[in-house]
Amino acid sequence: MFKKELSEKERTAVLALEDGSYFIGTGFGATGKVCGEVVFNTGMVGYPEALTDPSYEGQILVLTYPLIGNYGVPSRTVFDRWMIPSFFESDSIKVEGLVVHEYCSTPHHWQSQQTLGQWLEDEGIPGVQKIDTRMLTKKLREHGVMLGILEVFKENVEPDLDRLINEAKRVPDPNDLDLVSKVTCKEPIIYNNLGRKKVIVIDCGVKYNIIRELLHRGVDVVRVPYNFSAEEIMDYKPSGILVTNGPGDPKKVQNTIATVSTLIEYNIPVMGICFGNQIVSLACGGDTYKLKYGHRSQNQPCVDVSTGRCYITTQNHGYAVSLESLKNTELEVWFLNVNDKTVEGVRHKKRSVFSVQFHPEHSAGPLDSEYLFDVFLNMLESA
């Protein structure tokens, strides 16, 4: 039996946006107030993975699928043989707050250990339901992502709407900060040490399934903080480098960009994923820009421009690589987004370097592009 939830007390919750609009609903999860960039994800499933994705640091997440929480939350104390949490992409919830249309407080799934509301409450994350997420998503698509405040009030407390609306107009933009510093590891972490091929994972906010995919392929993995220098990384005698996903503006991590640029010159195989795609492109002289409302879903079609084959991919990013900026670099476009023709992958013309904007490690999402880890491992064998 699940314990009685705070959400059953019908707490009022308000989401206020920087344009002066607001949405009133019912709170679940924790009581409290948070602010951040309001973004939406159109995936139908995968909320445990999404909520623990470090790329959502600094953001209030809107899930567009109308019913959320119906399969509950699996155990947080189940680990795989590498002592990585089996069902999550990091050790804790990374979103600032959660917005849904209808929250299910009575889930049914054989692996469920608690409700979504209980999980949010345990980790101090407020949520709001019973608002028109379709209207909200259309607003964010037309205007672009917006800054906002989400507050869940105590029982029988009426919200001060004027105060919230005024506060929402002054919310600081989290993208002005170095968000990666909040989600990177603090010290190197070794997952295997068996003397085989060794991949250094530059942790900009790594999803655990990236590490799992490497370990499943029998390589040693060393996860290092994003601000490690090229010299510190080379001390590990790496066979290859993987630059991970992460939150915010990639130009805020100039040290990481410089490090990757140096590592590429060492002619070590390099793979980048999501934020890592932007870092690799910047390291090679390209440029990045902010998308209007980003790509956050499990059904983004991307075409391999060399073969014409289309892959359905999982994505979560608000910035993209400028196609025009690649013309004067040693990079060539590998993948393009079918919907908006944005750059979804690049590869180096002379070196063993490639990166993709989507998530080949999926979780949650389709497995179409998982083969790219094998491409990377073949580079290690050939180096």
Distances (CA, A) of 223 to 227, 255, 272, 355: 12, 17, 14, 18
Give the pLDDT score at 193: 82
CATH of domain 6-176: 3.50.30.20
How far apart (Å, rounded) are the C-alpha atoms in residues 129 and 87? 24
Nearest to 341 by CA among 278, 284, 285, 295: 295
Please indicate whether residue 109 is annotated as part of the active site. Answer: no
Per-residue pLDDT of the chain (383 residues; tens, 9 = 90+): 444 454 456 999 999 999 999 999 999 999 999 999 999 999 999 999 999 999 999 999 999 999 999 999 999 999 999 999 999 999 999 999 999 999 999 999 999 999 999 999 999 999 999 999 999 999 999 999 999 999 999 999 999 999 999 999 999 999 999 999 999 999 999 998 888 899 999 999 999 999 999 999 999 999 999 999 999 999 999 999 999 999 999 999 999 999 999 999 999 999 999 999 999 999 999 999 999 999 999 999 999 999 999 999 999 999 999 999 999 999 999 999 999 999 999 999 999 999 999 999 999 999 999 999 999 999 999 98
At residue 116's C-alpha, the angle toward residues 112 and 120, to 5°, is: 130
Same fold, 6-176 and 180-382: no
Nearest to 323 by CA among 313, 337, 333, 311: 333
Q: Taking phi first (over 0 means left), then psi (-120 to 50 degrees means alpha), and beta for anything else, what does residue 311 get?
A: beta
Give the pLDDT score at 1: 42
How far apart (Å, rounded) are the C-alpha atoms in residues 268 and 132? 50
Catalytic residue (choose from 35, 274, 284, 302): 274
Give the pLDDT score at 7: 42
Q: Where are the domains of the chain?
A: 6-176, 180-382
Please indicate whether residue 362 is annotated as part of the active site. Answer: no
* Residue 75, token pair as written in the block: 């155990």
* Residue 33, token pair as written in the block: 């107030």
Count CA atoms within 13 Å of residue 330 on its CB side.
Answer: 13
At residue 198's C-alpha, the angle toward residues 196 and 200, to 5°, is: 165
Please indicate whether residue 348 is annotated as part of the active site. Answer: no
Q: pTM, whole model, 2 decimals? A: 0.96
How far apart (Å, rounded) are the C-alpha atoms in residues 15 and 165? 9
The domain made up of 180-382 has a fold known as Rossmann fold (3.40.50)
